[in-house]
Structure 1
């Protein structure tokens, strides 16, 4: 039986220098072999997507946060973290007048914006658009909750409108408008069929 087969069978334990040579020969990080953490491949890091890779310079990577945007009763997860990054071509963003540094994405939670947005859909937020500018869906924070809603200015204040007729319109009166924070405008949405 070869030394390698004895290692696999658990009959003997390889010496550290043997493990190091095997890892190097396979192009695998010795840290990954020892701990199971970090990048498996030798010389690679686990940071955000590498735009230095040939062909990747045409893409922008937008963070998808674990915060869920409520389209129902409201939910806001404190201490949001980046789950992953969504890639868009820089050309498509530029064509829409969007700058990658001002974008983020979150998921919808609830059914108040159906049939336009469904629970679990992902929306892309343009954080530069924090003023109500005609028709559109805005991400807003009110009373500590995050919502995706249509906003409409009126004489009494601002109407918060759901597309699902099961939910009634809410008006934020003029004297409480300072409590309404527009996080940004939803500029793209996607979800599973």
Structure 2
């Protein structure tokens, strides 16, 4: 079996996930240029075990893909044993429940910890989950400004419900109505906001909202 070059593999995974090397460096508690130097200059020569494990868990890959010896590797998204916990990355952006929030930087700034058993019971794949903050009051009654939501990015047939979508550079959290062919209606739960009707091709569905938490 050919062992992948960990530097090239890290770049590939970061590109697929839409994460920056500086953001990933902060995820593992390093300065913002740490992984850039690892990839471009070969310094350090290899990732430390704790850094490698954190990155493997974030990307959902075996540690061997990032340079771990085969006998010491572990898979980031293996089915967890009973009683284990899963860290879901928290992204530093908001899904607007108002007029629209820009979504340009998506490197993680932390994580929410969920019971692996609970995620399995809900049919959720940890590798397809991320947590973001709600901004604005257009979903008031269901979601409040400042709530944290869990977004499931698993590829599934589109159905009505609350989703995070991208329109242009704006990231929105809205209830979707797909009853009209070729059109997606973005519906606000707050009656003070009008429904937005857009051509389907102008709406990129990021994922379905499957959980929320909020301050009392």
Q: TM-score range by the shorter chain?
A: 0.5 to 0.7
* 1:48 Cα offset (Å): 3.8
Of the three residues 194, 197, 200, the one matched with 1:177 is 200
| Rg larger in structure | 1
The answer to whether the Cα contact below 8 Å between 2:185 and 2:195 also exists between their aligned partners in 1 is yes
Question: What is the aligned partner in structure 1 of residue 174 from structure 2?
Answer: 149
Of the three residues 92, 99, 112, the one matched with 1:66 is 92
For structure 2, the 5+ residue unaligned runs are: 1-28, 31-47, 58-73, 75-80
* 1:155 Cα offset (Å): 2.6
Of the three residues 129, 133, 137, the one matched with 2:162 is 137
Question: What is the aligned partner in structure 2 of residue 186 from structure 1?
Answer: 209
Question: What is the aligned partner in structure 1 of residue 127 from structure 2?
Answer: 101
Structure number having the greater helix percentage: 2
The Cα RMSD (Å) is: 2.7
**Structure 1's 130 and 56: CA in aligned 2 closer, same or farther, altered over 3 A?**
closer
Cα distance in 2, alignment partners of residues 150 and 68 from structure 1: 16
The answer to whether the Cα contact below 8 Å between 2:88 and 2:112 also exists between their aligned partners in 1 is yes
Of the three residues 122, 125, 141, the one matched with 2:151 is 125
Q: What is the SS of the residue equivalent to 2:163?
A: strand
Q: What is the SS of the residue equivalent to 1:93?
A: helix
Cα distance in 1, alignment partners of residues 212 and 177 from structure 2: 21
Cα distance in 2, alignment partners of residues 163 and 129 from structure 1: 25
Structure number having the greater strand percentage: 1
Taking structure 1 as the reference length, what is the TM-score of the superposition?
A: 0.68
For structure 1, the 5+ residue unaligned runs are: 1-36
Q: What is the SS of the residue equivalent to 1:87?
A: strand
* 1:57 Cα offset (Å): 6.6
**Structure 1's 183 and 88: CA in aligned 2 closer, same or farther, altered over 3 A?**
same
Taking structure 2 as the reference length, what is the TM-score of the superposition?
A: 0.61
Please list, as runs of the form range in 1=range in 2, the aligned pairs for 1:40-59 lying within 5 A after superposition: 45=50, 48=54, 58-59=84-85
Q: What is the SS of the residue equivalent to 1:61?
A: strand
Cα distance in 2, alignment partners of residues 162 and 191 from structure 1: 19
Is 2:186 aligned against 1:160?
Answer: yes
Task: Summarize deviations over 1:124-180 as a string: whole Å, max 9, x none.
Answer: 01001554323x2100001221011000113362211000011001111xxx31111
Aligned length: 147
Runs in 1 of length 4+ with deviation above 4 angstroms?
A: 43-47
